[in-house]
């Protein structure tokens, strides 16, 4: 499948979808506390997406060999890497970490972002995992320049993570994004500098490091969606939607209230 280059008008629309997704993620983060269920978080999301004038990207989404996704957010707790399904039975406890992944459609274009939140006070191990994963995302964004290659982006994540004794999840990756939630190219979180597809102005990609405190190996649960670390070690996930402009990357999902400067 060819990589879809976006024009200025399309990127402007994606600025709006990215902003909506970033507001949604921020508001969900503000609601996270011990005792709340992931079902309640999904209910907050459904209401807010409607208020933002958007459509949930995830609800009913059905890639090959998967059942339709039944919620508007992915809520992945502790050893869950991504695509955890909200449930009334999944109640957050003090010391958990939870990755929240949300995507919103505005005027037919998707904005996609994710953040791993602490639930109350967390362990030093969990905090290190969160900090390293978040920083690796920004290392990757720093490599998103016209003329660079996908391998440069993946290497930026991999080298930073592995130098700190953590593991990059290899079976799951980032992706192109636009009128489809998943477009070409795939954006792995590992790679060889100078290898892979060359980055060009007008490409829009979702970069999403997924990092484990233990093994990089993955298991998939019987629900058809949830992935977990094979050794049940903690996992963190961060994601931004990035437009590649002639002068470098623009983070379409940046939200100062959530991400800082």
Cis peptide before 185 (omega within 30 of 0): yes
Computed on alpha carbons and rounded to an integer, the radius of gyration of the chain in Å comes to 17
| 237-257 per-position pLDDT tens digit | 999 999 999 999 999 999 999
Question: What is the model's pTM?
Answer: 0.98
Instruction: In whole angstroms, give the CA distance from residue 250 to residue 204.
Output: 9
pLDDT tens profile 36-61: 999 999 999 999 999 999 999 999 99
Is the pLDDT at 28 greater than 80? The verdict is: yes
CB 77 within 8 A of CB 90: yes
Q: What is the mean pLDDT of residues 16-27?
A: 98
Q: What is the mean pLDDT of residues 123-128?
A: 98
pLDDT at position 122 is: 98
CATH topology of domain 8-251: Creatine Amidinohydrolase (3.90.230)
Tell me what the mean pLDDT of segment 209-226 comes to. Answer: 97
Give the burial class of 186: count Cβ atoms within 10 A of its Cβ; 0-12 exposed, 13-18 middle, 19 or more buried.
middle
Per-residue pLDDT at 74 exceeds 70: yes
Q: What is the pLDDT of residue 1?
A: 64
Q: By the 8 A CB rule, do 231 and 217 touch? A: yes
How far apart, in whole angstroms, are the C-alpha atoms of residue 25 and residue 260? Answer: 14
Q: Where are the domains of the chain?
A: 8-251
> pLDDT, tens digit, for every residue of 159-211?
999 999 999 999 999 999 999 999 999 999 999 999 999 999 999 999 999 99
Q: Residues 62-86: what's their mean pLDDT?
A: 96
Predicted pLDDT at 65? 87
Those residues whose C-beta lies under 8 Å from the C-beta of residue 250, and which sit 6 or more positions away, are 11, 242, 243
Share of the chain above pLDDT 70, in %: 100
pLDDT for the residue numbered 56 = 98
What's the mean pLDDT in 219-228? 97
pLDDT score, position 229:
98
- pLDDT above 80: residue 261: no
């Amino acid at each position: 499948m060819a990589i879809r280059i976006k024009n200025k008008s399309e990127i402007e629309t994606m600025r709006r979808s990215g902003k909506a997704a970033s507001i949604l993620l921020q508001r969900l983060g503000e609601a996270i506390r011990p005792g709340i269920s992931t079902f309640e978080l999904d209910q907050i999301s459904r209401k807010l997406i409607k208020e933002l004038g958007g459509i949930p990207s995830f609800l009913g989404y059905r890639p090959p060999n998967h059942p339709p996704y039944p919620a508007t957010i992915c809520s992945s707790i502790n050893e869950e890497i991504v695509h955890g399904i909200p449930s009334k039975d999944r109640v957050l406890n003090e010391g958990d970490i939870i990755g929240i992944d949300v995507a919103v459609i505005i005027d037919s274009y998707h904005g996609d972002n994710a953040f791993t939140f602490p639930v109350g006070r967390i362990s030093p191990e969990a905090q290190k995992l969160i900090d390293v994963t978040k920083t690796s995302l920004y290392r990757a964004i720093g490599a998103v320049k016209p003329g660079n290659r996908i391998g440069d982006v993946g290497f930026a994540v991999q080298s930073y993570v592995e130098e700190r004794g953590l593991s990059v999840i290899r079976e799951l990756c980032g992706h192109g994004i636009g009128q489809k939630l998943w477009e070409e190219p795939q954006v792995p979180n590992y790679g060889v500098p100078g290898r892979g597809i060359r980055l060009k102005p007008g490409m829009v990609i979702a970069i999403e490091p997924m990092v484990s405190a233990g093994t990089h190996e993955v298991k998939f649960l019987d629900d058809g969606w949830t992935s977990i670390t094979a050794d049940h070690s903690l996992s963190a996930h961060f994601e931004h939607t990035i437009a590649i402009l002639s002068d470098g990357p623009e983070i379409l999902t940046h939200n100062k209230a959530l991400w800082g400067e």
